[in-house]
A and B are shown apart, each in its own frame.
Chain A
Amino acid sequence: MTTDTPVAAVRGRTRPADGRSRATPRPPRRTGPGPRGRAGGIPWLYLAPALVVLGALLVYPIYQLGLISLFHYTQAQVSGGQPATFEGLGNYRRLLADEQFWQVLGATVVFAAACVLSTLAVGCALAVLLTRVRALPRLALMLAALGAWATPAVTGSTVWLFLFDPDFGPVNRLLGLGDHSWTYGRFSAFFLVLLEVVWCSFPFVMVTVYAGIRSVPAEVLEAASLDGASQWRIWRSVLAPMLRPILTVVTIQSVIWDFKVFTQIYVMTGGGGIAGQNLVLNVYAYQQAFASSQYSLGSAIGVVMLLILLAVTLVYLRLLRRQGEEL
């Protein structure tokens, strides 16, 4: 790959790790009229559009989500027929007492974990493979992966259903499965969705990890090899530590994406599978809110999702900090 990333130029430059000393505002540095001069209100001017958009469309909705989840809010309240009544934690109590909620939560966690692990395994393995082949096979695999990556979730979902269609799909013919229906059983339906999710999300991992491996200087690998290290040893002791920041990023991204899969489940299992056997939290919240008009219950589910992903984010931040990443 070409190394026209401007970042390379930055890496040599060091800056005091100011991230740790937030409490004390740094004295303004005077370097003439340059960028490090007194900033005044200019950065806030630059930030204003972003802050307005994020405040209005992210922060405020989060506040609203929390609020709605504390009220009794159904169709009658939405249309203004009845006033919304404050329920406190009533919705959460109902949710936690609901057996289906726990089942959906469990399915979501297991399904997301399976997707993340498979995606990472496939992505990393293929990234290593890419470094072992000449330009032509590499280009072929890269283009195929870009194609899968570019495919919108809706179309990917329908195409995979078509591939596994019991009557007209090639997969059942190839495997000699007759008219076996993949979407009928709970596990086979989840498995089919997993295949689609891995297919469209491994390219991000592969390309990112590949770019990371490429950025490891060849001399380092050569030196290790001259010292008699095996391939596995090189991966474990040289590459893996250097790639750790990249691996952290792709893992966290995958967790976030796979935890909130909506389109694939909705399209491939027809809105959550037979009798809701393939529901995940996202689809469940949507069903509660928009199909059953249980807006407050749907919001409570949304809050639960938000909290889980917030926990993941905190872990991520800690990891970044421990690696000495400066912000």
Chain B
Amino acid sequence: MTTANPLVRRPWRLAAEASALLIAVVVAFPLYWMVLGAFKPADEIESSEPRPWTTAPTLDSFRRVFEQQEFGRYFLNSVIVAGSVVIASALIAFLAATAVTRFRFRFRTTLLIMFLVAQMVPVEALTIPLFFLMRDMGQLNTLGALILPHLAFSLPFAIWMLRGFVKAVPEALEEAAYIDGASRARFLWQILFPLVLPGLVATSVFSFISAWNDFLFAKSFIISDTSQSTLPMALLVFFKPDEPDWGGVMAASTVMTIPVLVFFVLVQRRLVSGLGGAVKD
């Protein structure tokens, strides 16, 4: 950690620090309001004079959420979807990133450009053909219909981001490994993979978020078997535009946000350096 820029004069720095703290409060306020709303009793929520605290915190809203039919199931489904996407895209992207950085072959540059272009494809625009594809593959109303499209969606970006990390592993290491008699597979999984793992963690954040947040595909591909649905759909049960159950919505939102928050805090440092690295490259 570097200290504050010594070139900035003191009164300015204090003003800057005060505004940074104020902005932090404003940015965090919606999250605070969400958690607060989850713990407020119904009469406080339905008050026209909302207070930024509560005198009688209660777990009623959470109880309503968890008593809702199959909420635990939805949570588990979300974990399965996001988990599968993260693991599968990490493994597949690692192999692909290794191929495009450690080998020279025909069409290498073409492939790289294709991966770059693929990142820009709005998957949302592909909902209709994906719907028919999932139907023909018998994946409608299954978690596969959520996992597969998100896998395709996160791969190009993951490959692109991992490239920098794979590149950074010195080639001398690879040569040394071969001289010591290691096979390609052994080098790949026992030497390269652990070295690139920090990059994989940073990359995972993006695939995790895209899968965990998925709303459109869950809405479009899980149409009749609601037991295969995910958290966003469970949340919407409490959210009826004309008369939302705000306590329930906030409690469900809290439950849905916490895993991502935990994930973020765990990888925070890696994320920042990973981003810096990927971008600098």
Interface, chain A (partner B; CB < 8 A): 1-11, 18-19, 22, 25-26, 28-29, 31-36, 39, 42-44, 46-47, 49-50, 53-54, 56-58, 60-65, 68, 78, 126, 129-135, 137-138, 140-156, 158-163, 165, 167-170, 173, 199, 207-208, 210-212, 214-215, 218, 221-222, 225, 231, 245-246, 249, 252, 256, 259-260, 262-263, 266-267, 270, 282, 285-286, 289-290, 295, 298-299, 301-303, 305-306, 309-310, 312-313, 316-317, 327
- CB-defined contacts of A53 to chain B, threshold 8 Å: 92, 148, 151-152, 155
Known contacts A245-B279, A256-B122: does B37 contact A162 (CB below 8 Å)? Answer: yes
B256→A152 contact, CB < 8 A: yes
Closest to A29 in B: B104
A168→B129 contact, CB < 8 A: no
| Distance from A322 Cβ to chain B, minimum over Cβ atoms (Å) | 15
A35→B129 contact, CB < 8 A: no
A50→B155 contact, CB < 8 A: yes
Closest to B270 in A: A4
A170→B118 contact, CB < 8 A: no
B174 within 8 A of A: yes
Which one of B125, B195, B252, B256 contacts A282 once the chains associate, using CB atoms below 8 Å? B125
- CB-defined contacts of A222 to chain B, threshold 8 Å: 7
Known contacts A137-B20, A149-B264, A168-B45: does B246 contact A144 (CB below 8 Å)? Answer: no
B59 within 8 A of A: no
What are 28 contact pairs spanning A and B, CB under 8 A? A1-B272, A5-B280, A6-B195, A8-B280, A18-B109, A36-B104, A43-B100, A43-B105, A46-B98, A47-B111, A53-B92, A57-B151, A62-B129, A126-B23, A129-B23, A141-B27, A145-B27, A147-B27, A159-B30, A162-B250, A173-B48, A207-B272, A211-B280, A218-B2, A221-B7, A256-B120, A309-B120, A309-B122
A138→B20 contact, CB < 8 A: yes
B250→A305 contact, CB < 8 A: no
B277→A6 contact, CB < 8 A: yes
A155→B34 contact, CB < 8 A: yes
Interface size for B (C-beta < 8 A) is 130
- CB-defined contacts of B236 to chain A, threshold 8 Å: 154, 267
B149 within 8 A of A: yes
- CB-defined contacts of A46 to chain B, threshold 8 Å: 95-96, 98-99, 103
| Distance from A194 Cβ to chain B, minimum over Cβ atoms (Å) | 14
Give bound CA distance, A137 to B4, whole Å: 11
Which one of B46, B153, B268, B272 contacts A211 once the chains associate, using CB atoms below 8 Å? B272
Known contacts A134-B4, A222-B7, A225-B7: does B50 contact A173 (CB below 8 Å)? Answer: yes
Interface residues of B in 103-134 (CB under 8 A from A): 103-106, 108-113, 116-130, 132-133
B235→A155 contact, CB < 8 A: yes
A58→B239 contact, CB < 8 A: no
Q: Considering residues A46, A145, A155, which has the most beta carbons from chain B within 10 angstroms of its beta carbon?
A: A155
